[in-house]
């Protein structure tokens, strides 16, 4: 799992909530989180603002000890 998805879960944000904050579709966010699609610059900056993470951390692989459904 990428750091983006792990941090979204940590903040207890649904996929749709975060997509709404970022003004993108939930399918676009899903592609970024799960398929490694690279966001455009505007989306990347919004994602960084919402999550408060360094870019490197957003795209780092993270292991969690629990799973959560969206």
Q: What is the dihedral of CA 16, 17, 19, 23, to 10 degrees?
A: 130
The residue extents of the domains of the chain are 3-58
Task: For residues 39 and 65, give the distance between their C-alpha atoms in angstroms, rounded to a whole number.
Answer: 27
Task: Give the whole-number percent of the chain exceeding pLDDT 70.
Answer: 89
So what CATH class is 3-58?
mainly alpha
Q: What is the pLDDT of residues 27-56, one digit of tens each?
A: 999 999 988 788 999 999 999 999 999 888
pLDDT at 18 over 70: yes
Task: For residues 55 and 48, give the distance between their C-alpha atoms in angstroms, rounded to a whole number.
Answer: 7
């Amino acid at each position: 799992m990428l750091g983006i998805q792990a941090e979204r879960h940590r903040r207890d944000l649904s996929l749709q909530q975060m997509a709404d904050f970022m003004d993108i579709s939930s399918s676009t966010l899903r592609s970024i989180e799960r398929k490694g699609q690279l966001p455009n610059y505007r989306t990347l900056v919004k994602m960084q603002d919402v999550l408060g993470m360094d870019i490197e951390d957003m795209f780092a692989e993270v292991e969690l000890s629990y799973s959560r459904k969206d």
